[in-house]
Structure formats: C-alpha cells, structure tokens
Amino acid sequence: MKITWLGHSAFHIETANAKILIDPFFTGNPAFDEATRRDAVAGLTHVLLTHGHGDHVGDTIAIAKETGATVLANADLAAWLGSRGVSKLEMGNTGGTVHFDGFSATFVNALHSSAQITEDGVSHSLGNANGLVLHFEDEPTLYHMGDTDIFSDMALINELHMPEIGLVPIGDRFTMGGAVAALACQRYFKFETVIPCHYGSFGIIDKTADKFVAGMDGVATKVEVAKVGVGLSR
C-alpha cells in the first residue's frame, strides 16, 4: 500500500487492485499543484467522500467526469452529485459497507456537519458526516476519520474494525485539535501508524502538526507527518 497526502484531508491510496482518492480538495488547496494532480488522477478507480463540505467534495465532479472513476458517498451527497452530472455512483450511509474489487468501505460516525451553499445562495443539507474504514484483501485496514471531534464510540469503531492506519484531523476550530486528537488515538485505538491531516491549509486552523506530535510522544504508535505529494509505503 502506498499512501500519499495531498494536503488538507485529501489522500491518494494505491494498492495492487485500486487507486483511490479520498476527499479530493484540489482547487483552492494551497498545498496542491497541477503536477501532483496529474499523478493523483492517473489510472484512478475510486473517489471516496466523507461528507459534503466543499473542502472535501473538492474537485470530485470534474475528476469523475475526466476519469470515469466510481464515486462513493452517503446517499444524500451521492444524489446531489448525480444531479450535477456524476454518473458512476455508489451510495451508502452510517453503518453500511460497500464492497468493491479488492476492498470494502464502511461508513462510520463522525461529529461534524455536511452541507454546501450553491451558486444560487441556497444551502443544501448533504447527509451526515462520516468517517470511512477501508478493509483490503492483503493490506492493512485504514480509517479516514473525516472531520470530527473525539467521541467515546470511537471505541466501538476500533472493536468492530481494528484499523491499523489512522488518517486523523488535528487542525482545531473545525475538528479536534492536536492534543485531543492524540488522546483519541491513544484512548480508543491501537493504530500502528497515524498520519495527521486537516491542518496547514487555512490561516484559521493550526499551521503545523506539532501539538499532535507532542501529544503522541512516548506512544508506540508511529506518527508519520507526511509531506504533500510524497508517498508513504506501508
């Protein structure tokens, strides 16, 4: 498995059977560039979305039309994307699992909101915010938390899925901050590796992962502070 952080909460996951984008926020993402985009969409098979905010849906519509990749989202968000021209859609909702060739994706809870204001000024509710747990045939289980605060039922997510890799939002203001994210990882999970995200992209969220790294000090879990566009092999 190769995991590449693309800035903010966007990740590229490559396995033997799939090339997956999660929350492909490219346009407006200050850490992203056109060369990285070419690599991110080449041979793409799937786009997975945690929720409907613009900094997570991002460039999904354009990418889906360009690549023909299958898009997975909660039912409300999937219907909205369908109305905007996305044709290859799979929908699910909290607690549900969708099976693909070589992996499955399970929607789990997240404490957040999910909506977009369209060009006409109307706010559209786009279902519940979720995290996504990805189970692979021959690779570690990966949990993208989406945007969330800490919550005690994270313990159930760990009990049900035992994720080995965590993609964890740490930037504060819109998600849990670094210290709380570190507490969540230690109290509720047994991750082998965690990769912090949702920081450094906007001026009003934390610029670095320092608070999270400090909170994870002395813990056996490996903290990978990724560089944008540089793949991590697992």
Q: With respect to residue 181, please indicate whether it lies within any of the assigned structural domains.
A: yes
Instruction: Give the contacts of 201 (CB within 8 A, at least 6 positions apart).
Output: 7, 8, 29, 30, 31, 55, 171
Q: Residue 7 is part of a domain; what is its CATH number? A: 3.60.15.10
Q: pLDDT value at position 234?
A: 83
List, as one string, the DSSP characters of 143-212. EE--S----TTHHHHHHHH--SEEEEE-BSSSS-BHHHHHHHHHHH---SEEEEES-SSSTTS-SSSHHH
pTM of this structure: 0.97
Q: With respect to residue 234, please indicate whether it lies within any of the assigned structural domains.
A: no
Strand partners, 92: 74
pLDDT (tens, 9 = 90+) of the chain, 234 residues, equals: 999 999 999 999 999 999 999 999 999 998 888 788 989 999 999 999 999 999 999 999 999 999 999 999 999 999 999 999 999 999 999 999 999 999 999 999 999 999 999 889 999 999 999 999 999 999 999 999 999 999 999 999 999 999 999 999 999 999 999 999 999 999 999 999 999 999 999 999 999 999 999 999 999 999 999 999 999 998
Structural domain span for residue 163: 2-227
Q: With respect to residue 232, please indicate whether it lies within any of the assigned structural domains.
A: no
Q: With respect to residue 197, please indicate whether it lies within any of the assigned structural domains.
A: yes
DSSP state for residue 58 in the 8-state scheme: T
Q: With respect to residue 195, please indicate whether it lies within any of the assigned structural domains.
A: yes
Q: Where on the phi/psi map is residue 31: left (φ > 0), alpha (ψ -120 to 50), or beta? A: alpha
Domain count, the chain: 1
Q: With respect to residue 221, please indicate whether it lies within any of the assigned structural domains.
A: yes
Q: pLDDT value at position 35?
A: 80
